[in-house]
A and B are shown apart, each in its own frame.
Chain A
Amino acid sequence: MNTLLEITKDQYSSVTIGGDNWLEMLAFGAKILLIGIGTVFAVLALIWGALTLFKIFFHDLPAKRAAQKKAEEPEAPAVQETVEETSDDELIAVLAAAIAAAEADAGGKKFRVVSFKRN
């Protein structure tokens, strides 16, 4: 490579189209083309490899660990829903009044309170 570079830099004035030096120049150009595009692909492929490792170490493994941790944790006791057996007429009346007030703007649609839950 050095010989070619020396030719191109120092003897350029003697390069004539179609001459021997010109052919050498073309060979040099083709060489740089191949080395250049090869280097660009190699470097970017290397970064691709590094980013694939990123995915494994910074994304997949933490996600796997988090899933594992979640699976190992004892399940929290389910909140038992308490259903009131008896109805509270007074409370139903209050709820019905509140809903009626809220729905007043919506054209006064008819409604019926079917159930309610105490917290």
Chain B
Amino acid sequence: MKEDILNFLGTTGISRLISDHDWWKYLIMYAIVGVLVYLAVVKKFEPLLLLPIAFGMFLANLPGAELMHLEYFFDDYYIAKGVVDEGAHASMWTIIQEVVNNGGLLDILYLGVKLGIYPSLIFLGVGAMTDFSPLISNPKSLLMGAGAQFGVFAAFFFALILGFTPMQAGAIGIIGGADGPTAILVTKELAPELLGAIAIAAYSYMALIPIIQPPFMKLLTTKKERAIKMTNLRPVSKLEKVVFPIVVTLLVVMIVKDAAPLIGFLMLGNLFNVSGVTDRLSKTAQNELCNIVTIFLGVSVGATANAANFLTFQTIKIIVLGLFAFMLSTVGGLLTGKIMCKISGGKINPLIGSAGVSAVPMAARVAQDVGRKEDPSNFLLMHAMGPNVAGVIGSAVAAGVFLSFLR
């Protein structure tokens, strides 16, 4: 009886925690989980994703629970087992077999990330929720969406300088795109070992946009520029709205084929919405499907951040570089906005350029708020939505560029 009890106690998480000489790392991970839960629940920063990510981290760091076996997704594990030759890659089928036979719940959910299913399905929902009318009405705003991708490539460059491999640097750079699903898709392809840190950095900074952007917006624009009132946007016909997703898919994928999974599903979702004949599909993409995938994506991505691979100096560098990418993307969008303001003879408020960093619709709201602080009668939201949705397309193109050159 006593022996049974002792055996049982030996299998408990408490026993494993005490016997592990890295026990303090678990405590740090719980503290990080606590901070993320606080940001999500109390501060309401991106709660739909931060909360599942935080809980995924929590589950992956429970000693003995073994819900996630990150090693199943890396070649080293199969090389050590002798299933794959040294230097060769484990096939997806080998990974799936291992996960199905020996994996835990989170391993199975993580297959959706590994296979690149979740980011595209999230984009389907984003497309169904997005109104591209401000962009169709004012196509010049596409340039601001392009300018705001500067931080992506600049952060890539600086990550290389800091000693990251080109593939890791690409995954870090894409944080500047301020687009969670895009960052996850690129990272799982180029540097899956960094997925936890990159996903957490990307979503945390997206949530912190109202804090990160305004100082740069005020620094790089004059009082007069911030007070510029823009003329009303022209109405957009249904025909334009229906043709738009088809044309954009064609143009983008013909040039950057690797952007197809993101742009294709973004535009399919949008077509569901604007066609007016697929309301049920549009609602499903926007609500049930998007919500279910968000849960799976958040929990499984969070679970990749275990104490062993997350508490490293590399993670700190990623967090710093991610912030740097966000800042430079904001600056890139603002400077493009300033140039367009000059060229247009002061008709474009450069503040809307900052919304080019994607993060729909928060970045557009920030542009609106900063503009209204200068002139309460100024209404920039719809104008800022143009660069904002252009940023979604821009970051998907940037992701396609990285995948084309670095994979």
A binding-site residues for B, Cβ under 8 Å: 1, 5, 8-9, 12, 17, 25-26, 28-30, 32-33, 35-37, 39-48, 50-52, 54-55, 58-59, 62
Smallest CB separation, B338 vs chain A (Å): 16
A28 touches B401 (CB 8 A): no
CA distance A43 to B256 in the complex (A): 9
Identify which of A29, A30, A44, A50 contacts B169 (C-beta below 8 A): A29
Question: Given known contacts A8-B165, A17-B163, is B398 in contact with A36 (CB within 8 Å)?
Answer: yes
Query: How far, in Å, is B231 (CB) from chain A's closest CB?
Result: 15
Tell whether, in the assembled complex, residue B160 and residue A37 are in contact, meaning their CB atoms are under 8 Å apart: no
- Nearest chain B CB to A8's CB is how many angstroms away? 4
Interface majority SS (helix, strand, loop, mixed), chain A: helix
Judge whether A37 and B405 touch: CB under 8 Å: no
> Is B401 a contact partner of A44 (Cβ separation < 8 A)?
no
Instruction: Check A58/B240 contact, CB under 8 A, given A44-B145, A44-B393.
Output: yes
> Considering the complex, which residues of chain B in the window 216-252 have a beta carbon less than 8 Å from any beta carbon of chain A?
234, 236-237, 239-240, 243-244, 247-248, 251-252
Taking a contact as CB atoms under 8 Å apart, the answer to whether B152 and A9 are in contact is no
Q: Could you list 17 A-B pairs, sorted by A, with CB under 8 Å?
A: A5-B405, A5-B406, A29-B166, A29-B169, A33-B157, A35-B405, A36-B156, A37-B153, A43-B256, A44-B146, A47-B393, A48-B140, A48-B142, A50-B248, A54-B139, A55-B234, A58-B239
Q: Mark B121-164, 1 if CB is under 8 A from A, else 0.
A: 00000000000000110011011011101101110110011010
A25 to B256, alpha carbons, bound, how many Å?
23
Asked if B157 contacts A29 (CB within 8 A), the reply is yes
Q: A30 near B136 (CB under 8 angstroms)? A: no
Residue with the greatest number of chain A CB neighbours at <10 A, chosen from B142, B165, B398 = B142
A44 x B394 contact (CB < 8 A): yes
Instruction: For the complex, give the distance between the alpha carbons of A47 and B267 in Å.
Output: 14
User: Of B142, B153, B163, B390, which contacts A32 at CB under 8 A?
Assistant: B153
Is residue B397 within 8 Å, beta carbon to beta carbon, of the partner chain? yes
Q: How far is the CA of A42 from the CA of B397 in the complex (A)?
A: 10
Contact flag A46-B156 (CB < 8 Å), given A28-B166, A51-B135? no
Q: Is the interface of B mostly helix, strand, loop or mixed?
A: helix
What CA separation (Å) do A51 and B135 show in the bound complex?
A: 9
B161 A26 Cβ-Cβ under 8 A? yes
18 other A-B residue contacts (CB within 8 Å) besides A8-B166, A51-B136: A12-B165, A12-B166, A25-B166, A32-B156, A32-B405, A33-B156, A36-B153, A36-B398, A37-B150, A39-B255, A41-B146, A44-B394, A45-B146, A46-B251, A47-B248, A48-B140, A50-B251, A55-B139
- When distances are taken between beta carbons in the complex, the residues of chain A under 8 Å from B265 are none
A44 touches B142 (CB 8 A): yes
Residues of B within 8 A of A50 (CB): 247-248, 251
Assembly CA distance A12 to B97 (angstroms): 31
Complex alpha-carbon distance, A59 and B133, angstroms: 13
| Complex Cα spacing A52 to B406, Å | 33
User: Is B78 part of the binding interface, using a Cβ–Cβ cutoff of 8 Å?
Assistant: no
B324 contacts the other chain (Cβ, under 8 Å)?
A: no
Give bound CA distance, A41 to B251, whole Å: 13
The 6 closest A-B pairs by CB, nearest first: A51-B139, A29-B160, A44-B142, A44-B146, A33-B153, A36-B153
A58 touches B402 (CB 8 A): no
Provide the residues of chain B in CB contact with A44, threshold 8 Å.
Answer: 142-143, 145-146, 390, 393-394, 397
Question: Which residues of chain A come closer than 8 Å to B405, judged between CB atoms?
Answer: 1, 5, 32, 35-36
B149: which A residues are within 8 A, CB to CB?
36-37, 40
B394's contact among A26, A40, A51, by CB below 8 Å, is which? A40
Q: How far is the CA of A55 from the CA of B402 in the complex (A)?
A: 32
Task: Write the chain B residue with the least CB distance to A58.
Answer: B240
| Distance in angstroms between the alpha carbons of A33 and B155 in the assembled complex | 9
In the bound complex, CA of A52 to CA of B234 (Å)? 13
Bound complex: CA of A83 vs CA of B397, how far in Å?
Answer: 70
With both beta carbons as reference points, the residue of chain A lying nearest to B157 in the complex is identified as A29
Does B237 lie within 8 Å of A43, measured CB to CB? no
Please measure, in the bound complex, the distance between the C-alpha atom of A52 and the C-alpha atom of B255, giving whole angstroms: 19
Known: A12-B165, A36-B402, A45-B143. A59 touches B251 (CB 8 A): no
Q: Which residues of A contact B145 (CB under 8 A)?
A: 44
* Contact present for B234 and A43 (CB under 8 Å): no
User: Contacts of A5 on B, CB cut-off 8 Å?
Assistant: 166, 405-406
Distance, CA A14 to CA B36, complexed state (A)? 38
CA distance in complex: A43, B393 (Å): 10
Q: Inside 8 A of B167's CB, which chain A residues have their CB? A: 9
- Known A-B contacts A29-B156, A36-B153; A48 and B240 likewise in contact (beta carbons under 8 Å): no
Contact B244 A54 (CB under 8 A): yes
Complex: A96 Cα to B185 Cα, angstroms: 77
